[in-house]
Structure 1
């Protein structure tokens, strides 16, 4: 019954999320249902106050500054006229028919540069919206375009990607973020090429049917009389803030913090983990600097700077708490006895072939938790040493184990209840019904294809 409870609650969560029910209410209800069906109703309130809420609060505490500054940055980009300038410039340079390619490329460059995918979604959405309007491409394809550039090949495949999911296997396999670079590049090409092909065929079909961008009241301050900021800036001024996020982030990550003695911080805060904090600090500094630069650069040209700042700050709360609520649901499910049975079952599939077993385990656990990093962490914590032992016996390189694990974690993680997908749709003001089919195609179909190809090539040729 424990397994049935988890499956039923998960299916209902995906169903109602797809139907547009808010996850803020849906996640705790489905978590409670899982507890009740598991026969642990007497522990329902402790599960809520001691598992669900701490997980939700912990996520919000850790990522609040990223969501807040990311939302503010996106609003400043939009209201300064930078988004309009960049979209018009891109259309002039590459042509309207390449709107999807431009959005995917912009997201890929930012995420591969170390910018959080949530920040990228906040920052790129205003540009994508303006660009898709200019190109008359359906708005419903924006989430899939952002997801392809942010949630796929730059997260799991490209060598050296700073995504957290690419760092998790290092401590289990003794590898590094550049593990199996050749196979990673092949996987990235499959994901990027297949995803772009899919989206371009959708664009062509929409143009043939005369669909167009569509009519959307899509801002959090929706106002039918509102006029879009059509201010034309010098292109360098519009581009500089985006480059600043990547540049300052890299500067503090690789040059400033590593070369500064931070021992005084450790003395003042004995529990501080500098290794995990520096990356977050670098991103916070980069976003703060970019926001400040935008404000100063357009200081005498804001229509209403106070209103812009307020709208940006208010806009972060729904995406943050949507995702945090999903994390709370995952924490409750992971603490149920039925989850242990599921975990043990998937981790022992095909024990004679660690690559296949590993791929299935990562996909299943990432799908259940709705998180690539969550599923990967659970799987490797439980069986990472065993996978390494099995690989050594089979003559399989730890680098290949690393790359397969990361690619697999990015396969089924984007089911409808995935916090990142819910956040992306909230940012774009679209529903699962409008956009999820295309998101699923680019974030599951082609990544799974890439995973199969990498396993086949790795089995025949080894790691390269």
Structure 2
């Protein structure tokens, strides 16, 4: 009982502290300590046998594991974003988009850029780094409240693209191992759900922005914003070339190198930016340095939350919660959706929710004769809902480290688009599969 109080209380505390703006490098360990104390978990590795759970060991395993897996991608992604910014390429592309689509289509351009990169296999974290400079420039020119930039980036990355049929993102691939399906499982329903999330989410996003503008909100400049280049800018079509290089390299090497394909893709993007726009740089190496600092802050914040998840998963209450969620009676599609979504919320990770729930769910449901393609698609979509609570690593990185916003200002819009819209998408998918569509 105390362990469950600690688990739920620690999660609530982490969300509250995150919303209040506490530094996550402090909030993460503090909330992990709360969970450990209520669960009676030993605090130090010296107090247990080798391999047994303890606060410091489990927290640092989660923290360091994330850094080891993602540091180079964060580093190169942040540098790529900064060199696009410093060379004027982001300004050039954004001005071209505004000229072609008009100021009213600035948000659409950002969503589309994120969607193309995400569906092309570029990591969600890297997409945010890469598109942010263009987003700032577009919001500035359209005079839109910048607190909506995180929601715009997130909507284009983690809703209708991340969990759709054919997506190369890991959230669409994990079920394959357990269900024997393909990345295109349930594609008919996936298309309908993706279109619903895309159109409804875009309508909701633009409605929120329009109401804010009507209240008098405008774009607010910051001291660390890049200076607007009113002089010569690089060719906008050539400035898009680095983005194309990242997308193309990621696609070509994805199957052979998996996550490591991003290293080649981002290096290619940085090199392409330098070659195409080298005469427009203010200071290439200053941009590289700024990107490096940004990457360290971003990965530190995210790893702090992952460390909390490492402790939460090791306490007895977590297994109790998993057992409860994976034994929900009734429709397997509803049970699977609830189980994966809740576990993803507890861990702050869509992939974590799938990886924990599917080894338990899959054999049981397959034995019952559940349509595996339907289960694959429902599980995939549901993993991208409650995972986007305020403590989620992607949310923290995008809101805080990349966009420089606070959760109080930016999260309401992010939560609406990345929690509520996907939950509606899950419900729609279950209804469609229940009607026999795509089965």
Q: Which TM-score tier does this pair reach, normalised by the shorter chain?
A: over 0.9
What's the CA shift for 1:324? 1.1
Match of 1:442 in 2: 417
- Residue in structure 1 matching 2:331, options 318, 340, 353: 353
Q: Deviations over 1:94-124 (max 9, x none)?
A: 0101111111111000000001111110010
My pick for the range that moved more, 50-59 or 116-125, is 50-59
Instruction: Work out whether 1:405 is the aligned partner of 2:384.
Output: no
Q: Deviations over 1:41-96 (max 9, x none)?
A: 56587623321112211110111110000000000010010010011111110010
Distance 1:319 1:328, change over 3 A: same
Q: Does the aligned pair in 2 maintain the 1:80–1:229 contact within 8 Å?
A: no
Q: Deviations over 1:285-342 (max 9, x none)?
A: 1110110121222333322222111111121001111111111110110000111111
- Residue in structure 2 matching 1:74, options 54, 68, 81: 81
Q: Secondary structure at the match of 1:155?
A: coil
Instruction: Work out whether 1:179 is the aligned partner of 2:185.
Output: yes
What's the CA shift for 1:381? 2.0
Match of 1:128 in 2: 135
Q: Deviations over 1:7-27 (max 9, x none)?
A: 000000000100111111111
Q: Does the aligned pair in 2 maintain the 1:136–1:212 contact within 8 Å?
A: yes
What's the CA shift for 1:253? 3.1
Match of 1:227 in 2: 227
Instruction: Work out whether 1:428 is the aligned partner of 2:435.
Output: no
Q: Does the aligned pair in 1 maintain the 2:121–2:254 contact within 8 Å?
A: no
TM-score (norm 2): 0.95
1:381 & 1:175 partners in 2: Cα distance? 15
Q: Does the aligned pair in 2 maintain the 1:104–1:148 contact within 8 Å?
A: yes
Q: How does 1:15-414 map to 2 (within 5 A)?
A: 15-41=16-42, 47-157=54-164, 159-219=165-225, 227-230=227-230, 231-253=232-254, 257=256, 278-350=257-329, 352-390=330-368, 392=369, 396-414=370-388
Q: Does the aligned pair in 2 maintain the 1:17–1:23 contact within 8 Å?
A: yes
Match of 2:391 in 1: 417
Q: Secondary structure at the match of 1:160?
A: coil
Distance 1:424 1:436, change over 3 A: same
**Alignment RMSD:** 1.5
Structure 1 unaligned spans of 5+ = 220-225, 258-277
Q: Secondary structure at the match of 2:435?
A: helix
My pick for the range that moved more, 40-49 or 283-292, is 40-49
1:306 & 1:43 partners in 2: Cα distance? 42
2:179 & 2:300 partners in 1: Cα distance? 34
Q: Does the aligned pair in 2 maintain the 1:155–1:165 contact within 8 Å?
A: yes
Match of 1:263 in 2: none
Q: Does the aligned pair in 2 maintain the 1:343–1:379 contact within 8 Å?
A: yes
Structure 2 unaligned spans of 5+ = 48-53
2:144 & 2:278 partners in 1: Cα distance? 33
Match of 1:11 in 2: 12
Q: Does the aligned pair in 1 maintain the 2:88–2:281 contact within 8 Å?
A: no
1:292 & 1:40 partners in 2: Cα distance? 49
Q: Deviations over 1:176-202 (max 9, x none)?
A: 110000111111111111110111111
